[in-house]
Each structure stands twice: as structure tokens, then as C-alpha cells.
Structure 1
Amino acid sequence: MVNLTIKDISRIAGVGVSTVSRVLNDHPDVKDETRKKVLEVIKEVNYIPNNSARNLKRNETNTIGVLIKGIHNTFFSKMINSIEEKIAEKNYSMILHYNKGRSSDFKVAVQFIKEKKLKGLICLGGEFDDVDNDELKSLNIPVVLASTNIPQHIDKRFFSSVVIENEKESFNAVNYLCELGHKRIGIITTGERDKSVGQLRLEGYKRSLFKNNIEYDINLTEIGEYTFESGFNAMNRILNKNLEIDAIFVTTDIMAIGAAKAILSRGLKIPEDISIIGFDGLEYSKYFHPAITTISQPAEEIGKKSIKIIFDLIKNKKSHKHIVLKTELLKRESCMKK
């Protein structure tokens, strides 16, 4: 065989492209049996990677970076998988970096690019209010901001983006609860400090209440993080106030599952006592009982479009793109007419 690609190896070995990539890059997170199978196929067909010049040293100019905000948000996992597969098909390498602290996401991105000599960078989540246009322009590599809020002051000629309309879709989620007849609608959000999406989703909630002639009550608002536990604790704080709440909008599915657990642990029923709606469309929400109604984001499509933009820019140096994707309201068992 000649001119085989990494995709051919994955097909012959019966594994994913990303798995072959991990084997070629000697990643530890591959089962011994799978690694052995892939290496046998590579040896049998005498496969030589196109970027074999890296031999003992990875060709750092063929590296795409993925910068991820935080470590808890499992919503990014599907995006990462779809990005990794496309990177592997191009015989590039991928480096993940998590901004775990409170450091500026943009400054972390700049340092990441310099240290790893990246060919392109995708930022999943994060806050970029502190971005300086001159500094952004000087990066000289393709940068895509995905699944975050794009500040108005940033010059769109210097970066690309793949996002959804967080404020609008949160409005739609709460409006759905209003259409079902709910009046005492609480919210668990990551809050105004979370300028990536939390602030926008809170604004959508408030706008929907206003549109439906419902007064905003700050007592029905609690702040959480991207964890089951924080959703559970935030919901308990709301329930402890005895405010006769009849519905709750939770701005991430992870927190929504924690909130649902808190409701059920009090002996209350979902949706008979309290309807609940989440946001993201995670698999977890589908298999929770009762299945949680949610705004589903196209996670894989966000990943695929982000990496396509990167490679288009690397290849042709075309203009940056700014893509807005649609979401879907998945109506499940956790909401009912009041």
C-alpha cells in the first residue's frame, strides 16, 4: 500500500482517527490492546506519517492549541473530540491547556501561543473583555473564540468566532416556562461575573420575565458554578426561602441535574411541584429521571466549524469568519403546564 493516511489506518484497525493519533504521539490514555492493534496495522502496511520529519521531536509548527476555561465544564468534551479528529486527519498535533485560575484568559492564550509556537488556537469559553486589539493583531496566527461572549470592542478583522445567541436562547427557555403558565420562576446561574455566558443567560431570563409581565425577584436568583454540587446547593438555598417557586431555569445542564436532585430529595415532584429546564443539551440530562428539558447546543458542530476555520486560514490566509449557530429546545419530562 502507498499514500495511506491516518484515516486509512483507523479504518483498517477499526478504531477512531483520534485513537490512531494518540498512538502515534505515544499518549498514555490508550488501552494496551488497542495500542497493540494499531501498531500492528502500522507495521503491516509500512505506514509513515506525513509529518515524519518530527521523528524524535514534534514539529511544533504543526501544532494546534485548544485553550479551555476551567476544568469542570463537561460540555466542552464533545467539542474537543470533534476538533481532535479533524486535527489528526491533517496530521497535525493538538495540545490542550486549561486555564484553571483567575488569570486573564487572553494573557494565558498569548503565553500558550508563545511557549508552544502554535500554528493556530481555539479558545473554548473564557472572558476576553481585556483584549487589546493591537496585541490581538500581533499574534499572527489564526485564533477562534468558541462558545463564549464576544465583547463589542474587539476588532473582528483579527480573530474568528463560533457562538450561539446565549441571551436570546435563555429568553426562549424562560418564555417556554411562562407559556406553560408558570409565574414564580427562579434561576440558578453562573452570574454576572461570568461574562463568557452567565451574564447573557441572566439577561435573557430577566427580559423574558419582563415580556411576560412578571416582576424580577432577586430572592429567586442563586449563583452556582459548573458542577453538580453547586446546582444542588443553590437549589437548596432557594427552597429554604419558602418562596412558593413553581419553576426553575438553570443555565447549565450540570447544575440543572444537581438542582433536580435537591428538589427530589425534599420529597417534591418534578414537574408536578416544580418544573425545571436546563441549558447545553448534555447526555446526562437525557438520562436523568425525569429527563430534563434543555436548550441543546450543537457542540460537535461548534468544534468542527472552529477547526475548519483554523485550517482554512492556515492554508489560504482568507478573512476571519464569525459564525452564529442555532440551538434547539428539547422538550422532555421535567416541564408541565401549570
Structure 2
Amino acid sequence: MSVTIKDIARVSGVSYSTVSKALNDSSLVKPETKRKVVETARELGYTPNLSAKNLVSKKSRTIGLVWPAIDRVALTELVAKINEIVTEKNYFMILSVNSADHAVKMFESFQVEGILLFEGGIENQLPPLFSSSVPILTYGVAREEHPYPIVDVYHKKAIRKAVEHLVSLGHSNIHYIGENSHADKRQYEKWNGFQEAMVNAQLAVNQTDTNGLSWYDGYLAAQKVLQQDFLPTALISGSYDISIGILRAAKEQHLRIPEDLSLVSYDNIPQMASLETELTSVGVPIETLAHTMVDSLLSLIDSKDTAHFTQRLEPEIQIRKSTSPV
């Protein structure tokens, strides 16, 4: 038989209404009473009846997340951090890897209160004139015609910071390895950001398209670059996964990082500092990005204000052991 609020009230020695308020974190209950009720509920193995609770409150306290991929380390880290923050705020999160329009319709049927949409390829962009009864916040690249509130991490500026750092160390032969995809606007912004930064620095633009975002795509692209007669002195990578492939290719060519080759990677995630060679990285820190996305979506949910707005977060550079002067 399942444990009820009445059971918790009997064991705790408080009223039914006090238990209800305590479990809903009401400020009307004294902290010591609240702790006692919560501990009793945990000891008894109490599980709230969410369906009944939602019927009363008319709120599901659930958000949906549309994810473009399941095999990229940086996105996995970001989703894990988002879920952690959502849980702290007493919400639940469900995830879909379906196309954006199908995922949104599914989430609407589940009566979620808000949706986070990770824009990626064509399948992860909502079609023009698409409408939803649920507030939507997207993570992608800001543009004038964008129909929903968006969080943009300023990819071009991140790559510019990488170029400026390498130039300050005396590098002039810098090569970018990443995906040149018109469909994935985030990757395309990085590609174009490198071109602009190199032109501004009056340096030759050298880029290699990985045609994908896996470590193996990075490995194959780096093999081509590192087998040339005239090697670059520094590389900039479009993602953590691509950097893993670059590190493997460099090792096979007996190139030392940073003694023979400096490397800066996009994706400002903790894993960069855990590699055998700690990577200098650029981007918005994962925790900052996750908090901004969750807080912004909850604000949309609370205010019911679907007016368009753009948040462009400032990227940072974390200088570690993978870069050195020429």
C-alpha cells in the first residue's frame, strides 16, 4: 500500500494541512517542522501523486527539451546541468530527439509548461509560421527573422578570442578544423567567425571542413592537415569532440602539444581540463549557459509574455596547457 500524506501526518505528529504545506515548501511552516516532515516522508518512502497534484494546481511543473543529438559531449554536459537546475527549482524535464515540430506537438499533448529547443540542422528548426500554445525558448544563433526568444552564445566572438590569443603568442599560420554547415547555424557562425578574425589580423585563412561533429570526423580532417609539407603552428577546433580526434591524429604524427602545435578548442566545459593535455578553450561556461536558459524559460512561463527577445552571452577564454609561444 502506498504512503499517503495522512500517514506522514500521523508519524510526524502534525496536522494533514501542515504536511501538505511543508511538502510544498510553504513559508507558513516553521523550518524545523518542515525538516521533520520531509525527513519522515523520505523515511516512509513517500511518492507524491503528481497527476492528482497537477489537477489541483493546473500546473504540470514539467518542461520539454528538444535535443538535436545524443552523441556530443558538450551537449550532454549542458543537458545534464540543465536537468540539475530544473530539479533544484522543483520542475521535471522530459527530452525528445524527434524533429522540432513533432517534439513540440508531443510536448503540448503532455501539457508541459515550457519548451527548450536546441537548434541544430534543418530537422531541429521550427518551420515558418509554426505556432505553439506553450512558451518556447531556443538555443541557437540570433537573427532578425527568428520567431522565438533565443539564447545565443556569440560563436563568432568566441572564435575571434581564440585567434587573438594565438596571434598574441606569435602564431600567424593558424588553421581551423570544424564543420562548414549552412544547415547548422552554430557551426556556420564558427566557420565564418574564423574567416573574419583572420582577415582582421591580416593573415591567410586556412580551414578544413570535418563534414561532421564526431571525434572521428575531427581525426580524419586533422590527418589531412597534419600530413601536409607545410604544417600550421596552431589549430582551432570547432568542438570538444573534434578536438579529441585532433589530439589522436597529432599523437600519430608524433607532434607534441603545445611544443610542436598549439591547440584551442571551442566548448567551455570542465572536461577540457581533464584531458592528458589540458586544452585552452573558448565559449560560454556550461553553468552560465544552463542557468540562463532555465531562468529565462521559467520567466516566460511565469509572465506568459511571449514577446521576442534575444540574449547574447559573452564567451570566455580559459587558457590552459595546450597553447604556447611560437
Q: TM-score range by the shorter chain?
A: 0.7 to 0.9
The one-letter amino acid paired with 2:233 is: D
Q: Distance in 1 between matches of 2:212 and 2:246?
A: 12
What whole-Å deviation, never above 9, does each CA across 1:281-313 have from its counterpart, x for those lacking one? 223321223211111422222222222222222
Is the CA contact 1:5–1:49 (under 8 Å) kept in the aligned structure 2?
no
Which residue of 2 is the match for residue 215 of structure 1?
A: 204
Q: 1:272 aligns with which of 255, 259, 268?
A: 259
Alignment of structure 1 residues 290-309 onto 2, 5 Å: 290-309=277-296
Is the CA contact 1:78–1:299 (under 8 Å) kept in the aligned structure 2?
yes
What whole-Å deviation, never above 9, does each CA across 1:248-301 have from its counterpart, x for those lacking one? 110112211220221122111111211111011223321223211111422222
Q: Distance in 2 between matches of 1:7 and 1:75?
A: 34
Aligned Cα root-mean-square deviation (Å):
3.0
Q: Distance in 2 between matches of 1:252 and 1:275?
A: 15
Which residue of 1 is the match for residue 321 of structure 2?
A: 333
Q: CA deviation at 1:66?
A: 0.6
Q: 2:132 aligns with which of 116, 136, 139?
A: 139
What whole-Å deviation, never above 9, does each CA across 1:171-218 have from its counterpart, x for those lacking one? 12112212222222111112133533111001111111111111224x
Which residue of 1 is the match for residue 16 of structure 2?
A: none
C-alpha spacing 1:65/1:98, structure 2 compared with 1 (3 Å): same
Which residue of 2 is the match for residue 175 of structure 1?
A: 164
1:124 aligns with 2:118: yes
Which residue of 2 is the match for residue 18 of structure 1?
A: none
Q: Distance in 2 between matches of 1:43 and 1:335?
A: 50
Q: Which has the larger radius of gyration?
A: 2
Q: Distance in 2 between matches of 1:190 and 1:41?
A: 54
The one-letter amino acid paired with 1:303 is: A
Q: Does the residue aligned with 1:149 lie in a helix, a strand or coil? A: coil
Which residue of 2 is the match for residue 4 of structure 1?
A: 22
Which residue of 1 is the match for residue 142 of structure 2?
A: 150
Is the CA contact 1:170–1:204 (under 8 Å) kept in the aligned structure 2?
yes
C-alpha spacing 1:186/1:121, structure 2 compared with 1 (3 Å): same
Q: Distance in 1 between matches of 2:146 and 2:22?
A: 43
Runs (4+) of structure 1 exceeding 6 A deviation are none
1:324 aligns with 2:312: yes
Q: 1:113 aligns with which of 107, 112, 136?
A: 107
- Give the gaps of 5 or more residues in structure 1: 9-38, 100-104
The one-letter amino acid paired with 2:182 is: R
C-alpha spacing 1:42/1:256, structure 2 compared with 1 (3 Å): same
What whole-Å deviation, never above 9, does each CA across 1:3-53 have from its counterpart, x for those lacking one? 334889xxxxxxxxxxxxxxxxxxxxxxxxxxxxxx996353675637351
What whole-Å deviation, never above 9, does each CA across 1:107-135 have from its counterpart, x for those lacking one? 34434334534321101242469645532
Q: Does the residue aligned with 1:66 lie in a helix, a strand or coil? A: strand
Q: Does the residue aligned with 2:64 lie in a helix, a strand or coil? A: strand
C-alpha spacing 1:309/1:282, structure 2 compared with 1 (3 Å): closer
Q: Distance in 2 between matches of 1:98 and 1:286?
A: 29
How many aligned positions are there?
293
Q: State the TM-score, normalized to the length of structure 1.
A: 0.76
Which residue of 1 is the match for residue 177 of structure 2?
A: 188
Q: 1:225 aligns with which of 205, 212, 215?
A: 212
Q: State the TM-score, normalized to the length of structure 2.
A: 0.78
Q: Distance in 1 between matches of 2:104 and 2:281?
A: 35
Is the CA contact 2:135–2:306 (under 8 Å) kept in the aligned structure 1?
no
Which residue of 2 is the match for residue 81 of structure 1?
A: 80
Paired-residue identity, %: 22
Q: Distance in 2 between matches of 1:130 and 1:328?
A: 27
